[in-house]
Amino acid sequence: MMPLDRMPSISLGIIVPAGASYDPNYHWRTDTGALRASVGFDAGGFSNAHIQGPPAALRELAAALVHAADQAEEEAVEAEPVVGVAS
């Protein structure tokens, strides 16, 4: 029998529209004293979720999200045609 994985494995896609409502006010300590935090968001209707973890993990996620947004904007600008210039 395979040993149980301590970290559950999932694949998840979340589409968040601009203007979603975020709630970063939840933080607590586990039974062993480890600090945890959560960011919840409401994308309207029945669409809501929470992302939880240690502060360092949430900071890493935030940095990755900012990097992804910056890359998307940079690539979109590079792909825009220049008006009035023959190719």
25-81 pLDDT, tens per residue? 999 999 999 999 999 988 778 888 889 999 999 999 999 999 999 999 998 887 776
CB–CB of 76/68 below 8 Å?
A: no
Distance CA 47, CA 44 (A): 6
Q: Give me the residue spans of the domains in the chain.
A: 21-78
The torsion angles phi and psi of 72, rounded to 5 degrees, stand at: -60, -45
Q: Which residue has the tokens 């029945």?
A: 46
Question: At 87, is the pLDDT very low, low, confident or very high (cuts 50, 70, 90)?
Answer: low
Q: How many H helices and E strands in the chain?
A: 1, 3
Overall pTM surpassing 0.85 (yes/no): no
CB–CB of 55/37 below 8 Å?
A: yes
Distance CA 54, CA 51 (A): 10
- The whole-number pLDDT of residue 79 equals 72
Question: At 12, is the pLDDT very low, low, confident or very high (cuts 50, 70, 90)?
Answer: confident
